[in-house]
């Protein structure tokens, strides 16, 4: 028995991806629940999976063999054994340390396991760093969906300790789940039928819905074909419409100049712009890079908070009283120029206010605010380390083009024990 799935390319030429080059419009009549950290997220998503009757689709960047990973494994195995179709798509880098035994148990139970661009280690080091499957999506029975920044690992729980991550996701019920389901199916290589509004259009749906009312949700995503800038453009468009407040909480912050300028311009118009970024970074380079931008933003009135209680992993934002976004995309070169990402845009006043209150509590109680007139670093530091970090981050996406050709793909998982049987 070959425990595997078919070889599926996810970066095909555009003329071969008509069914996957999709624009999803705004859907009304949805219920959106904010889930903060693993304490809120895992019980909700695990209970939905336990209640699954037909299908579970799961994409994640990281799955660890810890208490969260083992609980997920048990739930998926039990679901598959009772006849639920379970498709799990894992990133070959983020999940590169999973043991063959762990994956083999899933596959042996009937779970379809797919690894995105796995690669063997070179001198004990994983080298498949770029163009990762960074999305975090779960869809159950095409009736409830989850999307955000939370991986399936114990470091999203407070009892993990000082390194536990601060993060966000949402649970969605309503018409928008059909789009999440359709997208997850298409990205896993399954044949999907299109319906009106799901094929590529001459003019894409606006990042700011013209419809009135609450419960509006739109799925947006980033790939390396026709949707390279969709998430970044959504941020730019929303900020251009900001009138009184904008709050961005993002773990890795080093956006392109257009987005950076729109943040600055909003502050110049009198919008109260707040950025919440890592003060206790899990990647030191990310913190150094973000600080290269502080002076540019502070001088025009942007308020910058550094979250210091534990590592910030969130990717959320809100503008004014209605517009919000939650998803997997950071605002750095990896997410904006290389990785496969997915966010939802939300027009809902109650959700917006709830997210605002959570972020305000974070900024007021667990952050240090960078002074507007902070003392610049020594000129020698800026001329050497600062210069190097800034330009490496700025030109990072282009630099990766010098590397050997890299073709992201979903690849069969084959249990080691099966190779000897074939």
Expressed in angstroms, the distance from the first to the final Cα of the chain is: 7
CA distance 336 to 329: 7
Which residues make Cβ contacts (< 8 Å) with residue 157, sequence separation at least 6?
A: 37, 38, 39, 42, 68, 164
Which residues make Cβ contacts (< 8 Å) with residue 69, sequence separation at least 6?
A: 63, 102, 152, 153, 154
**In the numeric block, which tokens belong to residue 159?**
């009892």
CA distance 313 to 315: 7
Question: Which positions are catalytic?
Answer: 134, 136, 141, 313, 315, 320
**In the numeric block, which tokens belong to residue 68?**
């969260």
Residues in the chain: 422
Which residues make Cβ contacts (< 8 Å) with residue 81, sequence separation at least 6?
A: 109, 110
CA distance 55 to 110: 12
- Positions of E strands within 10-84: 31-36, 55-60
**Which residues are bridge partners to 58 per DSSP?**
88, 138
Strand order in the sheet with 323-327: 216-222, 341-347, 323-327, 315-319, 245-250, 272-278, 303-307, 367-369
Sign of the alpha-carbon torsion through 167, 171, 176, 182? positive
CA distance 77 to 152: 16
């Amino acid at each position: 028995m070959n425990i595997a799935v078919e070889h599926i390319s996810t970066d095909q030429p555009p003329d071969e991806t008509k069914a996957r080059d999709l624009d999803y419009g705004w859907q009304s009549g949805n219920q959106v629940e904010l889930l903060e950290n693993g304490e809120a997220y895992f019980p909700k998503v695990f209970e939905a999976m336990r209640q699954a009757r037909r299908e579970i689709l799961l994409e994640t960047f990281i799955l660890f063999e810890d208490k969260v990973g083992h609980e997920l494994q048990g739930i998926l195995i039990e679901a598959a054994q009772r006849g639920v179709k379970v498709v799990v798509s894992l990133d070959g880098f983020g999940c590169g340390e999973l043991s063959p035994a762990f994956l083999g148990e899933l596959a042996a139970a009937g779970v379809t396991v797919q690894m995105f661009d796995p690669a063997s280690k070179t001198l004990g080091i994983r080298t498949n760093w770029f163009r990762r499957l960074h999305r975090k999506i779960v869809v159950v029975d095409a009736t409830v969906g989850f999307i955000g920044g939370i991986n399936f690992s114990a470091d999203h729980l407070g009892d993990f300790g000082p390194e536990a991550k601060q993060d966000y996701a949402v649970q969605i019920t309503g018409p928008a789940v059909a789009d999440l389901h359709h997208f997850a199916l298409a990205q896993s290589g399954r044949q999907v039928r299109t319906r009106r509004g799901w094929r590529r259009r001459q003019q894409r749906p606006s990042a700011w819905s013209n419809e009135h009312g609450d419960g509006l949700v739109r799925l947006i995503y980033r790939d390396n074909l026709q949707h390279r800038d969709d998430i970044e453009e959504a941020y730019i468009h929303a900020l251009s419409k900001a009138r009184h407040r904008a709050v961005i909480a993002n773990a890795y912050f080093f956006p392109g100049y257009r987005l950076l300028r729109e943040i600055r311009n909003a502050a110049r118009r009198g919008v109260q712009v707040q950025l919440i970024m890592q003060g206790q970074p899990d990647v030191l380079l990310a913190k150094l890079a973000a600080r290269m931008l502080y002076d540019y933003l502070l001088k025009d009135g942007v308020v910058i908070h550094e979250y210091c209680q534990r590592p910030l992993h969130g990717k959320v934002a809100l503008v004014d009283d209605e517009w919000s976004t939650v998803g997997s995309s950071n605002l750095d070169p990896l997410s904006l120029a290389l990785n496969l990402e997915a966010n939802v845009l939300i027009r809902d006043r109650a959700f917006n206010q709830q997210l605002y209150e959570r972020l305000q509590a974070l900024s007021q109680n667990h952050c240090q605010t960078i002074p507007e007139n902070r003392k610049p670093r020594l000129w020698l530091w800026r001329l050497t380390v600062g210069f190097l970090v800034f330009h490496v981050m700025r030109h990072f996406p282009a630099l990766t083009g010098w590397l050997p050709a890299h073709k992201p793909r979903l690849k069969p998982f084959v249990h080691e024990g099966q190779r000897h049987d074939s």
